[in-house]
């Protein structure tokens, strides 16, 4: 099986993002016009090599009204990236989920104060550490979103611009591949569509092109898209567990799956049930990071370009 080039991955990533922005907007009607706000979020692209720390700048803008309650900003690290523990988080920010395994994302949540007026913006920078586990060049992505915090009376009238990918452009020098069985893992997550009842099943395909069979297990990590949760009315696949359980619309959930070793040219599938989160409706293409990795230090994948994918869900705009 041919391996994807970093350039092709970048083109596909940007094409996916473009697709997500052309959906018809979905609007909420607040009971009181005084509580109507329209938050949007932007993450600057970070460009750096593995083994280097940096900052990802986030901007939250309010396009309408004035926030009367707090805003919750959520940041999910890109693949192979941790939060930099040597630099303090911005005021109001805490670690919501910590995991020093850089193939599993970390999550930071920040409470922004009330009083963000129309056309006003607030900026903050999240300190990140791009670990040597990253051995590719090109774009990988986390995700960031901003919504009225739990308990706020504010109603966001358009949730489609409340989230975006948090892009990281990985550059050289690239760390050498460690010793071990040389495997060739890949992960493909075709887009699923939310049904009228708000549910969907996302089926992922993963495998090993070789040249060697795995000595140890395979780990797959999935992050639910903005406004999407795991469907708890249905079971997860065997080997999968929810690492971060958070039903609030603005905070993603994380599923980590550990599967048996793959033989050369072996391919498998598994299905994760999801549903639209309560508390609002976002339409269009929604996606979070997805990543496959060797779970054992006995194995090594020399080419990570097809290890990185997206956990994607299409939310049709069925609102009146």
Tell me the pLDDT tens digit for each residue of 258-293: 999 999 999 999 999 999 998 888 999 999 999 999
* Pair 141, 191 in one domain: no
* Pair 202, 164 in one domain: no
* Pair 215, 292 in one domain: yes
Instruction: Look at residue 35 in the predicted model and tell me its pLDDT.
Output: 83
Percent of the chain with pLDDT over 90: 86
Asked if residue 160 belongs to a domain, the reply is yes
Asked if residue 11 belongs to a domain, the reply is no
Of 170, 200, 235, the domain-final residue: 170
Of 137, 170, 203, the domain-final residue: 170
Instruction: Look at residue 320 in the predicted model and tell me its pLDDT.
Output: 57
Question: Per-residue pLDDT tens for 73-109?
Answer: 999 999 999 999 999 999 999 999 999 999 999 999 9
Asked if residue 97 belongs to a domain, the reply is yes
State the pLDDT confidence band at 25, using cuts at 50, 70 and 90: very low
Asked if residue 303 belongs to a domain, the reply is yes
* Pair 68, 91 in one domain: yes
* Pair 154, 224 in one domain: no
pTM: 0.90
Question: Per-residue pLDDT tens for 137-156?
Answer: 999 999 999 999 999 999 99
The residue segments making up the domain with residue 103 are 36-170
Instruction: Look at residue 279 in the predicted model and tell me its pLDDT.
Output: 82
* Pair 56, 122 in one domain: yes
* Pair 104, 197 in one domain: no
* Pair 205, 163 in one domain: no
Asked if residue 78 belongs to a domain, the reply is yes
CATH number at residue 141: 2.60.40.1510
Of 129, 149, 170, the domain-final residue: 170
Asked if residue 81 belongs to a domain, the reply is yes
* Pair 108, 222 in one domain: no
Number of domains composing the chain = 2
Instruction: Look at residue 8 in the predicted model and tell me its pLDDT.
Output: 38
Q: How far apart are CA 176 and CA 22, in angstroms?
A: 40
């Amino acid at each position: 099986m041919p391996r994807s080039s970093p350039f092709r991955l970048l083109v596909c990533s940007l094409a996916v993002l473009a697709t997500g922005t052309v959906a018809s907007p979905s609007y909420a009607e607040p009971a009181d016009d005084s509580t109507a706000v329209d938050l949007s979020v932007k993450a600057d692209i970070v460009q750096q090599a593995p083994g280097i720390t940096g900052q990802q700048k986030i901007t939250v803008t309010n396009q309408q009204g004035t926030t009367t309650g707090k805003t919750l900003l959520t940041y999910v690290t890109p693949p192979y990236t941790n939060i930099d523990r040597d630099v303090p988080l911005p005021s109001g920010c805490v670690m919501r989920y910590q995991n020093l395994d850089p193939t599993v994302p970390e999550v930071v949540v920040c409470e922004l104060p009330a009083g963000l007026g129309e056309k006003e913006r607030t900026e903050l920078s999240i300190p990140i550490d791009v670990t040597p586990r990253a051995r590719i060049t090109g774009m990988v992505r986390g995700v960031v979103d901003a919504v009225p915090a739990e308990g706020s009376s504010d109603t966001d009238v358009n949730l489609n611009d409340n989230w975006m990918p948090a892009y990281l452009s990985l550059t050289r020098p690239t760390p050498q591949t460690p010793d071990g069985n040389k495997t060739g893992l890949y992960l493909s997550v075709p887009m699923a569509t939310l049904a009228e009842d708000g549910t969907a099943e996302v089926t992922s395909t993963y495998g090993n092109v070789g040249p060697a069979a795995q000595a140890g297990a395979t780990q797959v990590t999935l992050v639910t898209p903005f406004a999407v949760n795991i469907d708890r009315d249905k079971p997860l696949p065997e080997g999968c567990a929810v690492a971060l359980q958070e039903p609030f619309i603005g905070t993603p959930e994380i599923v980590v799956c550990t599967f048996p070793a793959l033989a050369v040219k072996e391919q498998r599938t598994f299905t994760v049930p999801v549903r639209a989160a309560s508390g609002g409706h976002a339409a269009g293409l929604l996606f979070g990071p997805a990543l496959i990795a060797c779970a054992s230090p006995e194995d090594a994948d020399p080419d990570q370009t097809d290890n990185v994918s997206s956990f994607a869900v299409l939310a049709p705009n069925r609102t009146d």
